Chain A
Amino acid sequence: MEYLIVSTLPPQHEGAAELIGQLAETLPQAEVVYTQQMKISACLGCNSCWLKTPGRCPIHDDYEPLMLKFLQAKAVVFVCDTKLGFLSYQAKNLFDRILPLATMYLTIVDGQMRHIPRYHKNLAAAVLYTGQSDNAYLNRWLARAMLNLHGVSLGAYPFEEKGAALDALAHC
């Protein structure tokens, strides 16, 4: 697998089905995962993945296998809807649960505090979303979220701009 496509929208979602079909056709060795049928809890903020069982989340649901795929992919594409001007909670949970990939230890990058990553892995992620949201804001957020993980943002795009997303993904 080179590209991992993670959709929080169900396979029968019309817009997403078409989009994912095109992504999977265009991107080499793409694997598609639908989280709707999976059990993925919110992060409960317990800090165990940093302090008690470093690198492992104590919530034993379907998230850990997905997180391991993040470590194997060249780039991850999140396909989701937006609510209240931000990612849906299902999509945000996928980001909140990623904390085991960082360590508790702190460093400073470009004058700002960051966590030292647990693995040498250049995570790259793009978000493709449906629903009304401020695109500039989603890009700002994703850039910061990825910076925190010492990764790169490949951008946030509404479904209609999938061409630009494919471009960024193909060249990452």
Chain B
Amino acid sequence: MHLLIVSCTPRAVAASNTDKILTAFCEGFEAQGNTTERYYLARRDTWPQIRDAFAQNDDVLFALPLFVECVPGMMLEFLETLTPKAGKTKISFLLQGGFVEGCQLRCCEAYLETLPAYLGCIYNGTLLKGGMFGVSFVPDQQREKVLAPFVQAGTQFAQDGCFDKQKANEFAQPEYLSKGKALVLRLSKPVQKMVFRKIAKEKMHSTEPLDAKPFLQVVK
């Protein structure tokens, strides 16, 4: 199969979690003798080429980060410029988000199930996974561990030709936080704050308090 992949994050490619996940996914997918071509909505000047590729390909994968419970605004802007097709193109989605639980991605998934029909295409399943916020920040070894399941998912997609709902549900686990995990998260708040501050300092060169309130005086 030849798969057209569009990375739909507005984030610069080098910093994007979506792109790192896609690289892992393609490793598994291409090892099965398949080919891919990849485009990035963050590179606005390439939108005409992406539209052409969409018109010419029958197997399409849109990969996106969850933005406020649904599709990023920039992705919607791009989709609004597409000319609907004649019915045999299959669209699959790879959706990833920051929060850990699978349930956080379900509202967006429900929208994605309806989206291909608006574009004259066929819905071909969604792979979803939470807990991806740190992919670009963590040390290489940890990143490899987080990304390994996506290599596997690429292999599986090559075999199934779609994202099977049941397998996708397993992949999205945990659907909810267990009571134990929730407690650990609650208790680890001070550690969590330290980690975020460290990221801010090392990756963003910022030492401002992360809960700064620059507009406190205007709140009513």
Question: Interface residues, chain A, CB within 8 Å of chain B?
Answer: 42-48, 50-56, 68, 71-73, 83-90, 92-93, 95-96, 98-99, 103-108, 111-113, 116, 118-121, 134, 137, 140-141, 144-145, 148
Contacts and interface: CB of A to CB of B under 8 A. Distances in A.
Contact of B192 (A96, A106, A141): A106
Given A85-B111, A92-B70, A148-B69, 6 more contacts: A54-B206, A88-B76, A106-B189, A108-B177, A113-B101, A137-B110
Nearest to B206: A52
A86 B100 contact: no
Contacts, number: 170
B211 to A, nearest CB: 5
B79 A84 contact: yes
A148 B211 CA distance: 17
Contacts of A96: 67-68, 72-73
B80 interface: yes
B208 A53 contact: yes
Interface of chain A, main secondary structure = mixed
B214 interface: yes
Contacts of A98: 68
Given A98-B68, A108-B177, A55 B73 contact: no
B206 A45 contact: no
A119 B204 CA distance: 23
B209 interface: yes
Contact of A105 (B203, B205, B210, B215): B210
Interface in B36-50: 42
